[in-house]
Amino acid sequence: MRTLDLGFKAHLESGATTLSNCWRLTRGDGVVLGFTDHDRTLSFDGTEFVPAHGLDGGASKARLGGQVDTGTVIGLLHSDAIAEADIALGRYDGAMVETWRVNWRAPEERHLLRRDSIGEIIREDGVFRAELRSAQAALNVVRGRVYQALCDASFGDARCGVDAAAFAVPASVVAVEDPHRLVVAGLDAFVAGWSRFGSFLWDGGARSGIVDRVLEHAVVGDAVVLTFEQPVGDWVLVGDAGVVTAGCDRRFATCRTTYDNAVNFRGFPHIPGTDLVLRVPRAGETLDGRALFS
């Protein structure tokens, strides 16, 4: 059961209400935006909720148990509020949205209806439609570990233990070959494959603050070519710079020989593969229950 603020409760019971919806949107990079369906700006909790280019709430579904409640907000794409480029760059992916019911005559009388995260975003004809997912969506995250030969830690995190900063160097764009491939400067001292499965943190340009995954690090003549998971070439310009961090293919051999970190390896390198599980006995093999690996 919801508990309402006494002032807001009294306003609802008055019979003549002046209510509006307000949305506070907090992106992963810390940017906070406020919108309202009222015709003038409202302000509370240090956020201004502006009517121009704002959001319009759709119907919300409330489900029992652990099912995910979903809703929808619709708004105009505009450079002064929510720009199409920022959506395409993923700056709103997973952003948190608070939905408030507010007495626009006295914004201190308000009630938090729900707190959601942004799911799928659809853009068409100058309008965006964002799906809102309730906190139950976190229950869909995989928990626990999978028994596999590869390490399941992320390079440089607490479970990995490697100081990723020691394997990070500045780099800049020299040329854009195609949406997924860039020629970069700053990695000439490293062999091909050094940053494979690594990352590129941009500190300038349209992708500033975004971390892109590097899929391949090749040396072609005197040029270093990085292949990215995302089509970054549509957004970067020659001269854009950032920091490249080395990658790891999550194999035990790499962990041991390249990073001297075998003690922290988070995989199971000796687990039998499907070739061993499916093979049949052969003459001369010793199958007496002893360990398959020493």
> Quick count: other Cβ atoms within 10 Å of Cβ 13?
9
Tens digit of pLDDT for each residue in 187-197? Answer: 999 999 999 99
289, pLDDT greater than 80: no
Distance in angstroms (rounded) separating the CA atoms of residues 201 and 207: 9
Tens digit of pLDDT for each residue in 73-88? Answer: 666 555 466 777 787 8
CATH number of 6-140: 2.40.10
Assessment of whether the complete model's pTM goes beyond 0.85: no
pLDDT of residue 86: 81
Mean pLDDT score, 31-54: 86
Confirm if 94 and 74 have CB atoms less than 8 A apart.
no
3-state secondary structure the chain: CCCCCHHHHHHHHCCCCCEEEEEEEECCCCCEEEEECCCCCEEECCEEEECCCCEEECCCECCCCCCCCEEEEEEECCCCCCCHHHHHCCCCCCCEEEEEEEECCCCCCEEEEEEEEEEEEEEECCEEEEEEECHHHHHHCCCCCCCCCCCCCCCCCCCCCCCHHHHEEEEEEEEEEECCEEEEECCCCCCCCCCCCCEEEECCCCCCCCEEEEEEEEEECCEEEEEECCCHHHCCCCCCEEEEECCCCCCHHHHHHCCCCHHHCCCCCCCCCHHHHHCCCCCCCCCCCCCCCC
Give the domain ranges of the chain: 6-140, 145-279
Distance in angstroms (rounded) separating the CA atoms of residues 51 and 55: 8
In the chain, what percentage of residues exceed pLDDT 90?
47
